[in-house]
Amino acid sequence: MASKIGEAYIEVRTNQAKFSKELKGMERTVKSSTDRMKKNFDRIGKGVSVMSRAARLGFIAVAAAITGTVYAAAKYEKQMATVSTMLSRKSMPIMDKYKDLVGKMGIIFGESTETLSKGLYDILSASIAPEKALKVLAISAKAAAAGLTDTGVAADAITTIINSYGYAAEDAGKISDILFAIVKKGKTTFAELAPSIGKVAATAAIAGVSLEELGATLATITRAGIRTEEATTAMNGILRAFLKPTDDAAKAAKEFGFELNTNTLRTIGLRGVLELLTDATAEQTAEMFPNIRGLKGIAAAMQDLEGYTEDYKLMLESAGLTQEA
């Protein structure tokens, strides 16, 4: 009996130990599964968090883009509203065309609508007819792109010359081509020339000097090393000698067979005067052109009469130079 009880005790202890071992194994399995599940949930949580952040960032980007577009549109409307102040009530319907084409020009020429609208405003303020203003703006934008300056600068030069010489708006292309001819033959750039030529254009026109002759003179004297702005000042000095000569200057000019007046410039031109002065001494030249800057300019032209002749020829044959630049 005692033997059986002992066997039963051993069996129970054995089963108990086995059960404990299995229980611990189950605990380890459960713990391992729990850990894996926790890691998976952590990863899912992080993924959701990343997705949430990405969604927030995407929303912010979209909102910023919408805000930027709205702001740009409002800014453009303001720019065009400024342009509209240059129009009469009768011309106001053209604003729809302006709004459409100025925006397209910005894409084509790589200019901001702010610069283009300012250029259009200046063109209209120069008394260019509203229906012709866009054509002048397009030529100005093309010239600006080729000349590495902005449309406003180009438009100012072109419209100043139109008004000084009494050209039509349709002549804007011709004017632009002559400006590029000056750049091609002279020692200057379009960006330097455009803001300077307006300082002499009106005087040259009044004195009877054609735009082609003005261009040839500026090309010749800048090639001699005279800076662009100084060259326009020198040209004004030369013209002043014809517009208001001193008694001594007038007397000296007669010795060379011409009179210091605008009629001379309108008939034989500045080139004709240069040919007559071929044998003039420095002192005689200084007497006819007492303005020191004017003397510097005329001397440079006299020393390169052959070059001046070539420059003038190019001015006459300058069609298409804007396109080539």
Report yes or no: 224 and 294 within 8 Å, Cβ to Cβ.
no
Tell me how far apart the alpha carbons of residues 262 and 241 are, in angstroms, rounded to a whole number.
10
Mean pLDDT of the 289-318 span: 98
Per DSSP, the chain holds a count of helices (H) and strands (E) of 16, 0
Whether residue 296 is predicted with pLDDT greater than 70 in this model: the reply is yes
| 1-10, 17-26, 254-263: least confidently modelled range | 1-10
Res 313 pLDDT > 80: yes
- Residue 217 has a pLDDT of 98
Contact 213, 269 (CB under 8 A): yes
pLDDT at 11 over 70: no
Alpha-carbon distances, residue 29 vs 23, 25, 26, 34, 38 (angstroms): 10, 6, 5, 8, 14
Record the pTM: 0.78
Return the pLDDT at 63. Answer: 47
From residue 45, give the alpha-carbon distance in Å to each of 34, 35, 39, 50, 87.
16, 15, 10, 9, 63
- pLDDT for 73: 80
Q: Dump the DSSP string for 253-309.
A: HHHTT--SSHHHHHHTHHHHHHHHTTT--HHHHHHH--SHHHHHHHHHHHTTHHHHH
Output the six-digit token pair for 29.
């399995």
Residue 68 has what pLDDT?
A: 52
In this predicted structure, the answer to whether residue 91 has a pLDDT above a threshold of 50 is yes
Half-sphere exposure of 198 (CA within 13 A, CB side): 15
* Closest C-alpha among 195, 157, 163 to residue 178: 157
User: At residue 55, does pLDDT exceed 60?
Assistant: no
Kindly report the backbone phi and psi dihedral angles of residue 172, in degrees, each rounded to the nearest multiple of 5, phi listed first. Answer: -55, -40
User: Looking at residues 68-79, what average pLDDT do you find?
Assistant: 78
pLDDT tier at 64 (50, 70, 90 boundaries)? Answer: very low
